[in-house]
Amino acid sequence: MDQIAAMRPVPAGRYTDPRFHDLEMEHLWRRTWLHAGHVSELPDNGSYKLFEKVGLSIIISRGGDGEVRAFHNICRHRGSALLLEPKGNARRFVCPYHAWGYDFEGRLKSVPEQQDFPCLDKAEHGLIPVRCEVWRGMIYLNPDQRAEPLADFLAPMAAQMEDFPLEEMEVKQWITVEMPCNWKVAYDNFLEIYHVNTVHAVSLAPYLDSKSFDVTLLRNGHARFLTRKKQGETVFQTDRTADGETAQQFREATMGLPFFPNGFTALDPVGFAWQTFWPVSPNTSVMEAPLFGWKSNGKADADFWQDMRRNTEAILAEDLRLFASLQRAAASGLMPGVLMGRQERALYWYHQEIDRRIGAEHIPEELRIIPALTSTSEA
């Protein structure tokens, strides 16, 4: 049977049911590599940022040796958060409750009135580490110490991006949007081009040949999209250009890359957004979209990225206005399943991978995906 014909409607309960939300929290977000930022957000030794999503609070910092590390934001005394500000710079981590102090390697270094803790072994009470690795400037976290290496997890995507100058980019702007819908309602939207001619009839459709949309399903729930650009057109009107073969490739086509479990970027050497979608509750979520561009400074650069932010926000707003109605329909009981066609197979693909990672035996039968698709690439 054709794989597309074997795709069954995706149960609407996956977007609304607290049971499925809880399964994702336990088996997906606690056991999968998560994109957590970029090294340009930690410019100096002592720089830190907090990753506060999916019920976790994690400190990501650059130590005195320049290494990026991550620890749970939990003091080993009574459990207070060590850091309360979302980002900053520190000489060490000092608990705001009882002033226990830790260094950037997570070691407990100071305890006020330590004589009151006669059995305390400071070596045994360092901060709890979180697996943290940097891939081409991107910071990834995994709460599961037993998970596969990041290199294995990202290998299918690394092969798609090996010629792109990612290391020469830095974060220029940061967009955060609260959304009245399940994270998958929003994420689904960015994994197909079927809606572009309608929703983005002016902003995107004139620049993309939607009939050329090609999907490659990759291992680990990832995918790759290729769409030809209409001759001589670019989505972002600018006189900025990049040189070389890579730039020529991107003048001819756009490459979209859905990173499992919740990331998406459409690479462009002029600049691009790296979107991630995070659950807050079964019915609400947050999208984060740092904008990346070439490393540079000056007023002209800042003005350019202000314009890019406004342009990006305007395009996103065209999608966002529909999300509340999609969530309402999923919760109505009038649509027990969500139909997906050939152009939407990347959506079905990542749903399949969610179930594989949760384990079908843990999922109520009425919420399961029926496996239908297989990887279409050896990468």
Summarize pLDDT for 113-130 with one digit per residue, the tens: 999 999 999 999 999 999
- The residues, any chain, with a CB within 8 Å of residue 22's CB and separated by 6 or more, are none
Tell me if 163 sits within 8 A of 246, measured CB to CB: yes
Q: For residues 182 and 174, give the distance between their C-alpha atoms in angstroms, rounded to a whole number.
A: 21
The predicted structure's pLDDT at residue 242 = 54
- Taken in order 242, 244, 247, 252, is the CA torsion positive or negative? positive
Distance of CA 227 to the CA centre of its chain: 22
The predicted structure's pLDDT at residue 290 = 97
| CATH 3.90.380.10 is held by the domain 10-31+153-367 | yes
Q: Which whole number is the average pLDDT over 340-369?
A: 97
Q: For residues 228 and 247, give the distance between their C-alpha atoms in angstroms, rounded to a whole number.
A: 14
The predicted structure's pLDDT at residue 231 = 62
The answer to which of 72-76, 145-149, 169-173, 231-235 has the lowest mean pLDDT is 231-235
The predicted structure's pLDDT at residue 236 = 46
Nearest to 58 by CA among 113, 163, 139, 114: 139
Nearest to 143 by CA among 233, 33, 249: 33
Q: Which whole number is the average pLDDT over 171-195?
A: 97
| CATH 2.60.40.10 is held by the domain 34-134 | no
Summarize pLDDT for 164-179 with one digit per residue, the tens: 889 999 999 999 999 9
Query: Could you state, in order of their start, the residue ranges of all structural domains in the chain?
Result: 10-31+153-367, 34-134
- State which amino acid sits at residue 165: P
Query: Can you read off the two tokens belonging to residue 16?
Result: 């609304």
